[in-house]
Every structure is written in structure tokens, then in C-alpha cells.
Chain A
């Protein structure tokens, strides 16, 4: 496709459920990023891949958060045992060079 796509666009989970968020980057983009955007705030970095290698996961808030990109293309962000504080928009971006192109985000609401 022409841009970064994410699915689902909206996700409602009960506290304690596991969720998986998908990101399809722009074809050929080597780098892929995940960010978390709380309501009224700027995006905060979660993790970064270069091809299939996860080079930086310093922003993951807890060990309940896990990301993978096994074939260097599609990436999945998994959150186990969701908590209310996980409610946010999760943004994926891909880049070739310094400019990051963002997807529309997945809005996660944990009840």
C-alpha cells in the first residue's frame, strides 16, 4: 500500500485480557517504530526495529509489553494482562532515512 497501515483501528479490551496490534509498514522501509500516545499528550517512544532486529526497547513500560517483527516487515505489538493505564493510541511508523511516516494508530480502551 501507499502508507503505513495499522489494525485494528479501535480495540476495546477488558482488564486482564491480552491484545495484539498489527502494523504494516511501507514496503522497503527498514526501520519501524512503535509509540504510545496518551490523551492530550505527544507520542512516547516504545520500541524500534531495524529489519527483524529489535535494537531499542527502552520505552516499553513493563514486561507485559512485547513487540516482534519476525520477517522484517509486518510488526505486532502485544500487551498481556491489559490494565486501564494501557488505554492510549498506539502509533506505528516506518522510515527509510530520517523521516518517519506514521500510520493512523490503534486506539486501545481498557475497561
Chain B
């Protein structure tokens, strides 16, 4: 079946540091890949997505590239802010199937 393996947290960085959160997946066919974010006290929100190999999703300074050869979708941001503190979830939906399979989440804390 489908699965997502996410970098374990928690991750603590200083403001303006470079961020990478690793995500790899196992799936048959051509899944769509997503990063969702959960800010404190709020619900899950879509951060970015990519639907085919070599696509790059981007939003709010975050980027992730769909790498089929390495089955990865790592999340990156060049300069993090305190407001980026949240829990980040990598997820996929399989070919012809909309249900999402999530990773365990990575808690990110940015200190001023």
C-alpha cells in the first residue's frame, strides 16, 4: 500500500535559517504529493502540491519538487520566520484515488 515517511522532529531553528524537511513516499503509479500545515490552534491547510514528476510546488516562500527517481518531496524554505512555527505534514493521494496518506508530521519551532 501507499506510505509516507517524514523526517522526525521536532525541529528548532533560528529566524532566517534555511529549512529542509525530508519526505519520501512509496506508491504505485503516479501519485499526487502535498504538504499540509497545521498552525497552533488551527486546522490543516494545504501549503503546496505537485501532481507529476519534476513539478515544483511553491507557496509563501516554501518549495518542494516531485522527484520520482528518488521518490521524494522535500520541503524547503530559504529564510524561516517565527510565524512559520507549525506542524508540517507530507501526504500523497494515489492514482485514481483521492484519499490522502499522511506522514507523521514534523513540528517546527522558529526562535527569534
| Residue positions of A touching B, CB distance < 8 A | 4, 31, 33, 35, 40-45, 48, 56, 59, 91, 93, 95, 98-105
Contact = CB atoms under 8 A, between A and B. Distances in A.
Nearest to A104: B43
Given A42-B89, A91-B44, A105-B43, A100 B100 contact: yes
Interface in B67-112: 89, 91, 93, 97-105
A88 B97 CA distance: 25
Interface residues of B, number: 23
Contacts of B36: 102
Nearest to B103: A42
Nearest to B43: A104
B98 A44 contact: no
Contact of B42 (A95, A100, A104): A104
Contacts of A105: 43
B99 A98 contact: no
Contacts of B100: 33, 35, 43, 45, 93, 100
A30 to B, nearest CB: 10
Given A98-B32, A102-B45, A42 B105 contact: yes
B58 interface: no
A102 B46 CA distance: 9
Contacts of B49: 98-99
Interface in B15-56: 32, 36, 42-46, 49, 51
A31 B98 contact: yes
Contact of A42 (B46, B97, B99, B102): B102
A25 B103 CA distance: 24
Contacts of B43: 4, 91, 102-105
Given A42-B89, A99-B46, 17 more contacts: A4-B43, A33-B98, A33-B99, A33-B100, A40-B104, A41-B105, A42-B4, A42-B6, A43-B89, A45-B101, A59-B99, A93-B100, A98-B32, A98-B51, A102-B36, A102-B45, A105-B43
